[in-house]
Structures are given as structure tokens and as C-alpha cells.
Amino acid sequence: MFSTLSEKLESAFRKFKNKGKLSEADVREGMREVKQALFEADVNFKVVNEFVKTVTERAVGAEVLESLLPAQHIIKIVNEELTALMGGENSKLQLSNRPPTVVIMAGLQGAGKTTHVGKLAGMYKKQGRRPLLVACDIYRPAAVDQLRVLGEKIDCPVFFLEDTSPVKITKAALAHAEKHGHDMVFIDTAGRLHVDGEMMEEIIAIKKQCDPTEILFVVDAMTGQDAVNSAKAFDEALDITGVILTKLDSDTRGGAALAIRHVTGKPIKFIGTGEKLDAIEPFHPDRMASRILGMGDMLSLIEKAEAAFDDKKAEEMEQKLRKQSFNFSDYLDMFEQLKSMGSLQDVMAMMGGQVAALKDAQVDERQIERCKAIILSMTMREREKPDLLNASRKRRIAAGSGVHVSEVNRLIKQVEQMGKMMKQVSGMTGLKGVMVNKQLKKMGIRR
């Protein structure tokens, strides 16, 4: 996400960095490029002008121009203003003091509304909540069936009534939730291809019926300024409480993410980052600003690692490393858990710095699959005791996995090197994400 915008901003900042001292004329010339980059990202015209004006006023101050590293000061200012533009800090979903917490999901057709009902419910179910999904889209063919399939995947019940109105479905769903102890209710409303009066009247009626804790507007980030305009229309009719920005895994220009908060005054609460049901994240403006500026997002990466790596397995792995018994089974477990964190390109982009520059490198994930095939062609005893792998066993494993013996030898060497490296890392920080967090806190970085 934001790859084009990041490249354009990096190009503008490069001109600052190439000069030891900056004049006011240098700053204004660089900010013209920043302005052009934001326009090309489809950011609202007024938002761009206000943003550039604010940054320029701060950047031409004596503190910046007379400093030893003026370029770093300007990047810091842009980072701070981008963060402020997107809301300043993470805005959490409000939970009702008197359950259930009722969340209405609204939006245009095709934005991913029904899918994100499932994603949100799945997220909160993992946190120990008991969500109920309510199917109030009675117009789109297969909308109810889609929600039922999602409910089965996340093991959450779906409430629906035949031959009645969405308002009556909502009323009955709330009674059902109270009777069966559901502490969260997610209402999937109907979408349209465009904003219309009939659609708004129906959602307003649903709102009056259930007195929701949250009204979340689900919007496709790829629609750029149109996303901001539709969010504004929904906000005027419903007084939305927040936004879910979807399809941020695509080649989106990013204009909606940068402008929606400024135009509507309502925070982006979550972002959809892929098709899988766990591909949803709380929106952190400061972290997103860092990503856009190519600084990475280590805190989000750590959170992904904590979610992906099982605590018990991590402890077992740490004990194995201390005893120098890292083997192919452990290597296979690492593959599976890394895979659950997303693509390797995404992980590298979140690391920032020089590593982030490799995000556009073509990572051959087929090579990883070949390594898995080699390991799966071994017996359990061979996986646990790599020393057993003599020449004849290697030939058998190569034939079973469809590779050359040289690839088997290469993998054996990789596992040996990984074991040595992981032992060193384990000695410093442990394998669990909580240990990494302690190290970050010692460095003054707090979550």
C-alpha cells in the first residue's frame, strides 16, 4: 500500500538530504514536489493545500534552517503532520457498559462490508467476546448466505428472519442476543451502487430501532476522493462513529486514508489488509505515517509476530536452542508461523530502513514451498535427527520431493546456520514477542 506515494515523497526528500544547508527557496521547491505527490495520490485538494501550508510554515523556521541536519527536521515535521492529518492516535471500538455492544456496518455495495462484519466479529471472538452476526441485507442476492458462510468459518452464529423488514430483523436479533448472552451484535446492512434516499432512510430506521454503540462506515480505499465524498454523505445522514478502510493490500493511491479524517472529523478505526478473515488491523495514524515515509512499522510487525507465534511453542523452541537441538521439524514450524504473518514483501516493508528497500525485490516463495517438500519427504526420525542424513537417505528425499540432491544439502546447511543464529538471538532476547517489547521499552519505545 502507498508504494507510489512513498516513492514520490522519498524523491522529494532526497533533494533535501543532498544539501548540507537549506534555504527557504529550497524548502518551498521541495514542498511543491510533496504537494504534487499528494495530488497524484488522489488526496482532496483542500486537504493537500492545508497540509503543505502547515508543513512549509514549520519548515522555514529558524530552528530547522539553521540546524545541522535540516532535512531530518523536515522529514520529522512531515511525519508529525501526516500523523495529525490521519487522526493523531488510535481510536478504539467503544464497548457498551450495558451489553450487548451494537455495531451497525454501513457502506456502498462492493466495499467489503459483509466480509468485514465477519473479520471484526472474528477478531473480538478471539478476545473472548460472544458476537452475533445479523443479516439485514435482504436485497443483494446471496448476501445472507455469504454471511452464514463467514459465521461458520469464525464459529459465530448468524441471525436472520425470512420475509420481513431489516428493522424487524434488528429488533428480533437484539432480543435473541439478550436471551442467549451475546455481548456484541454486528449488523450487516444493505449497500447500494451509490448513495440514495431510500438506502439512508432504511439505515436510519435500523439505527432508531437498536440505538447502536458504533456506526462504522466501510469504504474501499481504491475509490480515492469518491470514498471521502461517500463517507461525508453517510456521516451527515447517520452521524457515523468511525471508518473501516478496506483493500489497503491493493495498489491503492492512499488518498482516502489521508483525507477521510480531516473531511469528516471521524476516525479510521480499522483497515482491511487482505482477503483472509484475519486480515484486519486497528488503524494507528503514527504507524501509518511511518510506513508512508519508508520508516517501517516495527510495533505492528511485533504484534503480528506475537499473534502468529504460539507462546508454548516459542518456549519449547527456546529450550531446544539452548540445548542446540534445532531440527527440521522446528524449521517447518517456523515456515508455517511466518506464513501466517503475511507475505515476506509485506514483512520487509514493515521493517523500514534498508530492509524496506528490498520490499520490491521478487521473493521466490516457491523456494520456501520446495524446502517444505524436502522436509515432508523425510521420516519423522530424520527430521528430529539431521545427523542421520547420509548419501542414500539424501537421494531418497531428493527423489521424493522432486529436487536435486544439491538442494537437500543446501537446506541441511541452512538449518544448521539457522540453529546457530537463533541460539544467539535467544540468548539476547528470547523468542517470545514480549521479550522484544521489553527491549523496545529499554530503548524508550513504548506501545
Q: Are residues 262 and 211 in the same domain?
A: yes
Cα(132)–Cα(128) distance, integer angstroms: 13
- Which amino acid, 363? V
What pLDDT does residue 431 have?
44
Is there a single domain that holds both residue 218 and residue 109? yes
Task: Provide mean pLDDT across the span 184-212.
Answer: 87
- Answer yes or no: is 91 within a domain: no
Together in a domain, 267 and 124: yes
How many independent structural domains does the chain possess? Answer: 3
Q: Phi, psi at residue 298, to the nearest 5°?
A: -65, -35
Domain identity same for 10 and 73: yes
| Contacts of residue 98, Cβ cutoff 8 Å, sequence gap at least 6 | none
Burial of 29 (0-12, 13-18, 19+ CB in 10 A): middle
Domain co-membership, 312 together with 374: yes
Identify the domain containing residue 436 by its residue range.
Answer: 302-442
Q: What is the CATH number of the domain that holds 438?
A: 1.10.260.30
Q: 3-class SS at 102?
A: strand
User: What CATH number is associated with residue 194?
Assistant: 3.40.50.300
Q: Is residue 218 domain-shared with residue 287, that is, in the same domain? A: yes
How buried is residue 18: exposed, middle or buried, by Cβ count under 10 Å (0-12/13-18/19+)? Answer: exposed
432 in a structural domain: yes
Residue 223 covered by a domain: yes
92 inside domain:
no
**pLDDT for 178:** 92
The arithmetic mean of pLDDT across residues 60-83, rounded, is 77
The pLDDT, as a whole number, for residue 358 is 44
Q: Under a CB-based contact definition with an 8 Å cutoff, are residues 130 and 281 in contact?
A: no
Please provide the size of the chain in residues.
447
Helices 365-376 and 391-401: crossing angle in degrees, nearest 10, is 120
Please report whether residue 90 resides in a domain: no
**CATH number, residue 23:** 1.20.120.140
Which residue, 35, 58, 85, sits at the end of a domain? 85
Q: Using CA atoms, how far apart are residues 409 and 417, in angstroms rounded to an integer?
A: 13
Whether residues 250 and 110 fall in one domain: yes
Last-in-domain residue among 267, 295, 323: 295
Segment (H or E) for 158 = strand 158-159
**96 in any annotated domain:** no
Q: Which of 295, 322, 356 is the last residue of a domain?
A: 295
Residue 443 scores a pLDDT above 60: no
Same domain, 291 and 310: no
Q: Do 146 and 196 fall into the same domain?
A: yes
Task: Name residue 145's amino acid.
Answer: D
pLDDT in tens, 330-371: 777 777 666 666 555 555 555 544 444 444 444 556 777 888
Same domain, 46 and 115: no
Residue-wise pLDDT tens digits, 105-119: 998 888 889 999 999
CB 268, CB 116: distance < 8 Å: no
Residue 239 has pLDDT above 80, yes or no: yes
Together in a domain, 289 and 179: yes
Q: Is the pLDDT of residue 442 over 50?
A: no
* 200 is a domain residue: yes
- Find the mean pLDDT for residues 190-212: 85
Mean pLDDT is lowest, of 220-229, 235-244, 305-314, 424-433, for 424-433
Q: Is the pLDDT of residue 284 over 80?
A: yes
Q: Does some domain include residue 447?
A: no
Same domain, 309 and 370: yes
Tell me how far apart the alpha carbons of residues 349 and 355 are, in angstroms, rounded to a whole number: 7
What pLDDT is attached to residue 338? 64
Query: Tell me, what's the pLDDT at 78?
Result: 86
